Amino acid sequence: MSAAIIVENLSKSFGKERKALDGVSLRVQPGEMVALIGASGSGKSTLLRHMCGLLASDRRPGCRVEVFGRSVQSGGRLARDIRDVRAGIGFVFQQFNLVGRLPVITNVLAGTLHRIPLRRSLVRRFTDEELRRGIEALARVGIAECAFQRASTLSGGQQQRAAISRALVQEARVILADEPIASLDPESSRRVMELLAVINRELGVTVLVSLHQVDYAMRYCPRTVALRGGRVVFDGPSAMLTPPRLRELYGAQAEEILSHDPVVPETAGDGASRARGRAPAAESAA
């Protein structure tokens, strides 16, 4: 089986002084849930944006990004059909990227825009079937009752779940989540991470999630890739990232990665269990 994500020899410089990525290579297999960790400025967000073609790498021979066998970029040039390739990649942003004045359901159905005629997309006219699928996606994340509220009325945790439901409507085979819990309280953070784990387990969606704190990676992601200074310094089982190991990898930066906000305890086990607890759809809104 071919890899879900292939990154080879990826480098990115911003100006002459700053190298955000320095020869990064990694592979993610279909159905994996992988954490991407690192201190501020380590290159996590930059790497995710290269994976979905929001950024082009430095023009170096041999550098490439593929998602399920389709080229995202190669040699520093985005694929000609990049818009079509992006249709299979859901991106969850730290700040939700919802239009606050529009209803939640309209924001969610933005995930269908690559499949509907331009004329309908411009006036945001959706069929009954599309609306049904949007409501179902919101129900899966536990906020169907919020469908016709303005997005700005939702809490931070609810907005992030709406953003995830947008990726579900998109029918993404890969979800890239860029620090999706960075601005949330511990309880909302747990629910969002649980939701990503349930989507990964039940729908088989490959998930790569950037996290600032390692305890969430260890609880929900069997595998972790750690960046430092734009380079991969660890790629292996999350359980191996003990505090002494992190201090060895990061030195003084290790305290930034070791969480001070505990994961809310529940019946599910650790990262290897991949959140076997109940799905967030059965819970009240965060």
Domain ranges of the chain: 30-55+84-282
Question: What is the mean pLDDT of the segment spanning 253-279?
Answer: 56
The arithmetic mean of pLDDT across residues 62-88, rounded, is 94
- The fold of 30-55+84-282 is Rossmann fold (3.40.50)
Residue 62 has pLDDT above 70, yes or no: yes
Q: Hey, what amino acid is at 285?
A: A
pLDDT at 269 > cutoff 70 = no
What is the pLDDT at residue 124? 67
pLDDT for the residue numbered 263:
65
Say what the pLDDT of residue 167 is.
93
Instruction: Read off the pLDDT of each residue in 28-35 and give the average, rounded to a whole number.
Output: 98
pLDDT value for 61: 87
pLDDT per residue over 108-127, tens digit each? Answer: 998 887 766 656 655 567 88
Residue-level pLDDT at 283: 38
Residue-averaged pLDDT of the chain: 87
pLDDT at 22 over 80: yes
Around 113, how many Cα atoms within 13 Å sit in the side-chain half-sphere? 17
**Under 8 Å between Cβ of 171 and 187:** no
Mean pLDDT of 135-157: 94
Task: Report CA torsion sign: 114, 118, 123, 126.
Answer: negative
Read off the pLDDT of residues 181-220 as tens digits, 9 standing for 90 and up: 988 999 999 999 999 999 999 999 999 999 988 899 999 9
pLDDT, position 281 = 37
Please work out, in degrees rounded to the nearest 5, the angle formed at the alpha carbon of residue 211 by the alpha carbons of 161 and 66: 85
Pick from 124-128, 165-169, 233-237: least confident: 124-128
**Residue (of 89, 234, 226) closest to 166 by Cα position:** 89
pLDDT of residue 5 exceeding 90: yes
Identify whether the C-beta of residue 103 lies closer than 8 Å to the C-beta of residue 95: no
Percent of the chain residues topping a pLDDT of 70: 86
CA distance 29 to 14: 30
Question: C-alpha distances in angstroms, 89 versus 66, 75, 172, 234, 282?
Answer: 11, 21, 5, 25, 26
